[in-house]
Structure 1
Amino acid sequence: MEAPTILVVEDDRAVRQGIVDALTFSGYQVLSAGDGEEGLKLALQANYQLMLLDLVMPKKDGFEVLTELQRQRPGQAVIILSAKGEEDDRVKGLKLGADDYVVKPFGPRELLARVNAVLRRSTERPAAVAEWDFSEGVADFSRCEIRYPDGERCELSERERDLLRYFVSNAGRVVSRDEILRRIWGLEPHAVETRAIDMHIVGLRKKLRSPQSLVTVRGQGYMLGGGAA
């Protein structure tokens, strides 16, 4: 089995080389970039399993890179590497889709342990879905729309698109409201009271033309239901 490929985006040459050497010695294949602009370009074009991303970089900072990466490659595994250990930065990075956050300075053993843990989790993560065929039509996530057999089309908002794609990627299991708030809204459930989820579920059921497309599981959450093909 081919070793996983890891993309390292870090502007400090000495730090970058140290990470590359440690990963290479441990058997990983490694790609690297020295600034945010180069890193984002490589991140969107290359084939890799995990990105190690610095926050403070020239041209584009790590948050900008992470935001665009998650827009174009949702679900991509990312570990943030930064000397900025403040809680707000960690929370922001995790809300933007990072899987872990390692504060500099760190030793190679700690980094490799985090890398192994995230790679193990990411192999179990459902791949991002481009389209979904269901009983009443096709949901095209790249175009943010639903196409029906009669030729009509219905636009999905970005939030509706992300929510429906998450249900499709997790078909066969109940998705809790807390999980939706964390993974789709980027909010901590204990810190917010909102009916937005219910409103989006109602809207999606109408657009899917089936009230049973998204089933409410009392006391647990929602799951893809009878509207699926």
Structure 2
Amino acid sequence: MPQQTILTVEDDAAIRRGVVDALTYAGYTALEAGHGEEGCQMALRREFDLLLLDMVLPGKTGLEILREVRNVKPTLPVIILSARGEENDRVSGLRLGADDYVVKPFSVNELLARVDAVLRRSPSRPSDVEEVMFVGGRVDFARCEVQFSDGERVELSEREQQLLRYLARHAGRTVPRQELLENVWQIDARGVSTRTVDMHVARLREKLRDDSENPALLMTVRGRGYMLAQSLS
């Protein structure tokens, strides 16, 4: 089973550090943010399995973040982190679709137990994409190669395979370059100016025989990003 990823949005550095350390020790991959705006952007753009969300944050409140997340990721598990005396916020959060809440101060064991319980009763992510069919061939992600109907096979690099698989998992929508950098390259893309995504897409197009004579599998959405355009899988 793939390692599950949890995003913690908490402005108190000591609490956030303790939560992240506990999650990491328990075997989770931990993402973190200490500001409401940053946390909201990460929650909307990054891929993860559960959100631990403080209610009182600078820049954007936990309720505002939860409202935006529910619009984009309606089934994402969310646990509210709240202080004593914030009962109204907890109630509002639960009404907006939070799955559970933990009142500060809390023990590590209580937090991990609630995380485990929410993850167990939440629907699992859709199964990963194993192949992409296109006119004249298929992409086999297990073998990291493109297989054409004329018998030719073209090997994909690990990064090319990750990039194409991410686009395949999000087929039907435009994926911004920043989202690709954050989820495929695993870097903080804020303020980063690079052509690496475009260069990898160009190489993928060559390997997929994407040209004027063949229907395009990878579509460029000008000024926005890329979309898997003509997948038959």
Instruction: Write the distance in 2 (CA, Å) between the matches of 1:64 and 1:90.
Output: 13
Instruction: Write the distance in 2 (CA, Å) between the matches of 1:85 and 1:77.
Output: 24
- Tell me the CA shift for residue 87 of structure 1: 3.6
Instruction: Write the distance in 1 (CA, Å) between the matches of 2:35 and 2:122.
Output: 25
Aligned residue runs from structure 1 range 1-229, under 5 A:
1-123=1-123
Instruction: Write the distance in 2 (CA, Å) between the matches of 1:67 and 1:75.
Output: 13
- Tell me the CA shift for residue 3 of structure 1: 1.2
Instruction: Write the distance in 2 (CA, Å) between the matches of 1:75 and 1:88.
Output: 23
Across the aligned residues of Structure 1 and Structure 2, the Cα RMSD in angstroms comes to 1.8
Instruction: Write the distance in 2 (CA, Å) between the matches of 1:32 and 1:52.
Output: 9
CA contact (8 A) 1:5 1:28 kept: yes
Instruction: Write the distance in 1 (CA, Å) between the matches of 2:84 and 2:75.
Output: 24
Structure 1 residue aligned with 2:195: none
Superposed CA offset, 1:142-175 (max 9, x none) = xxxxxxxxxxxxxxxxxxxxxxxxxxxxxxxxxx
Structure 1 residue aligned with 2:183: none
**Structure 1 residues 22 and 79 mapped into 2: Cα distance closer, same or farther (>3 Å)?**
same
**SS in structure 2 opposite 1:119?**
helix
CA contact (8 A) 1:80 1:98 kept: yes
Residue identity (%):
61
**SS in structure 1 opposite 2:106?**
coil
**Structure 1 residues 8 and 124 mapped into 2: Cα distance closer, same or farther (>3 Å)?**
same
Instruction: Write the distance in 1 (CA, Å) between the matches of 2:91 and 2:104.
Output: 16
TM-score, normalised by the number of residues in structure 2 = 0.52
Q: Which AA in structure 2 matches 1:18?
A: G
Instruction: Write the distance in 1 (CA, Å) between the matches of 2:99 and 2:83.
Output: 17
Instruction: Write the distance in 2 (CA, Å) between the matches of 1:19 and 1:126.
Output: 27
CA contact (8 A) 2:63 2:89 kept: no
CA contact (8 A) 1:85 1:103 kept: no
CA contact (8 A) 1:9 1:39 kept: yes
Structure 2 residues without counterparts, runs of 5 or longer: 128-233
TM-score, normalised by the number of residues in structure 1 = 0.53
- Tell me the CA shift for residue 76 of structure 1: 1.1
* More divergent stretch after superposition (46-55 vs 116-125): 116-125
- Tell me the CA shift for residue 85 of structure 1: 4.3
**Structure 1 residues 60 and 84 mapped into 2: Cα distance closer, same or farther (>3 Å)?**
farther
- Tell me the CA shift for residue 74 of structure 1: 1.0
**SS in structure 2 opposite 1:7?**
strand
CA contact (8 A) 2:66 2:96 kept: yes
- Tell me the CA shift for residue 68 of structure 1: 0.6
Instruction: Write the distance in 2 (CA, Å) between the matches of 1:69 and 1:61.
Output: 12
Superposed CA offset, 1:178-223 (max 9, x none) = xxxxxxxxxxxxxxxxxxxxxxxxxxxxxxxxxxxxxxxxxxxxxx
Instruction: Write the distance in 2 (CA, Å) between the matches of 1:84 and 1:107.
Output: 14
CA contact (8 A) 2:82 2:90 kept: no
Structure 1 residues without counterparts, runs of 5 or longer: 128-229
Aligned length: 127
